[in-house]
Amino acid sequence: MSRVLTLVSGLLLGLIVPTLVEAATTTGGWVNIRSGPGTRYDVVTVAWPGVTFDVRHCTRLWCAVTYNGMNGWIATRWITR
């Protein structure tokens, strides 16, 4: 029973606590936003130079972002926070 309560509590907490999102800006020229964290993934869209977007989370080399209502990935070297 306590295992079920722990699971339910965790699920409810995940719905209540918002995801941490950080605003960032592209560092240079046009930046490819890809469908996954790597150059082998398709380009979803291209961000204009100097635009602001939301960073959801990052790995060492790539960040999951939301730009213009679209989700994708940008290489960390193209991001300024």
Q: What is the pLDDT of residue 16?
A: 35
pLDDT digits (tens, 9 = 90+) for 22-47: 889 888 889 999 999 999 999 999 99
What CATH architecture does domain 19-80 belong to?
Roll (2.30)
**Tokens read off for 71:** 């989700």
Reply yes or no on whether the pLDDT at 9 is more than 60.
no
pLDDT digits (tens, 9 = 90+) for 43-74: 999 998 889 999 999 999 999 999 999 999 99
Reply yes or no on whether the pLDDT at 14 is more than 60.
no
What are the angstrom distances between the C-alpha of 68 and each of 43, 54, 58, 65, 71?
Answer: 14, 9, 19, 10, 9
Q: Where along the chain do its domains lie? A: 19-80
Residue 1 — pLDDT band, cuts 50, 70, 90? low
